[in-house]
Homo-oligomer: A and B are copies of this chain.
């Protein structure tokens, strides 16, 4: 007999992308930023260490919320900080979705959403994107048990976006909160932040892992109307963000020049990657994120992934049941992408 809840005993657990602990891979599999974070962030960590680590951190990460509020043009009480945006997704799911209730997500998208529903003993409803990566009309439909809708925007693995207008129309039809997961939004042309004030059901989550090159730090945040933030705060661990990550994240948001420069480099390399893949005959979806989604009309992609891996180039092979497979390739440096394209040229 098991001590565990049946949902837990039955589940496989989320398998994150491979994180080899050696440095000899060109690592294009988990959408990390190929550049080093802002020097101001590293200095902020060193200063925080110098101030000491023996005290508990500010439980509400006030310094970050004030800086983010200033940068985003909102009030600090519209912001909840998390230990990575995964922590935010966990908090939101635990607060809203009870056993047997329903969580909706598009498919294919972030596998974690379904895992979070399962851990709650809840049901999840994965509605397939159309082949052009638009959403089916029923994505905005109501339902008595529907408690939360996740919408990654830009989406992974496609890198595509739904327009803010369309998202607002969705939220207005829905009976429950819609969390727009903007993990990749700094690489996109638009975002949904202003919708949060227009409709209380729209919430936006962000992370510093991708655009700020701080995946190692674990820092994310939620923007929602204050009466919702108050409820979510009940569910978080008291000290979910640590002294060093709060200092670093605050500093990161303050260095707008670094972000603009890094974004410009990644967008330029993304174009090289997409052009190169198309020249090799791939169907490469136009991306608004820091990766591209690639299928090939003639070649099965799994052997390409294996052969790239053998050559120490790690991309992400995704195989979505009832949808299909493909290669998700992170936008690295120009040199890394040139090496990846060169290897593929020899393989295809």
Contacts and interface: CB of A to CB of B under 8 A. Distances in A.
| Residue of A8, A41, A49, A86 with highest tally of chain B CB at under 10 A | A49
Contact of A52 (B59, B87, B90, B216): B216
24 contacts: A2-B231, A3-B147, A3-B201, A3-B228, A5-B96, A5-B98, A8-B94, A12-B234, A14-B238, A16-B239, A19-B56, A41-B53, A42-B49, A46-B49, A53-B216, A57-B216, A86-B239, A99-B121, A112-B238, A119-B234, A218-B241, A242-B242, A242-B244, A244-B245
A57 to B, nearest CB: 5
Contact of A244 (B17, B54, B86, B217): B217
A37 interface: yes
A131 interface: no
Interface string A36-78: 1100011001100110111111110010000000000000000
B54 A216 contact: yes
Given A5-B96, A147-B3, A239-B84, A32 B56 contact: yes
Specify how many copies of this chain sit in the oligomer: 2
A30 interface: yes
A217 B240 CA distance: 10
A141 interface: no
Contact of A242 (B32, B33, B213, B217): B217
A218 B57 contact: yes
Interface band, chain A: 35 or more
A232 to B, nearest CB: 9
Counting from the closest, the 6 A-B pairs by CB-CB distance are A216-B243, A13-B234, A53-B216, A54-B213, A218-B242, A16-B238
Interface in A255-299: none
A320 interface: no
A58 B19 contact: yes
A4 interface: yes
A98 to B, nearest CB: 5
Interface of A is mostly: loop
Contacts of A50: 42
A109 interface: no
Given A16-B239, A217-B243, 11 more contacts: A3-B177, A16-B59, A19-B56, A21-B62, A42-B53, A46-B49, A83-B218, A83-B240, A90-B237, A99-B99, A217-B242
Contacts of A4: 95-96, 231
A237 B19 CA distance: 15
A8 B234 contact: yes
Contacts of A59: 16, 19
A214 interface: yes
A96 B214 CA distance: 33
Given A119-B235, A244-B216, A55 B27 contact: yes
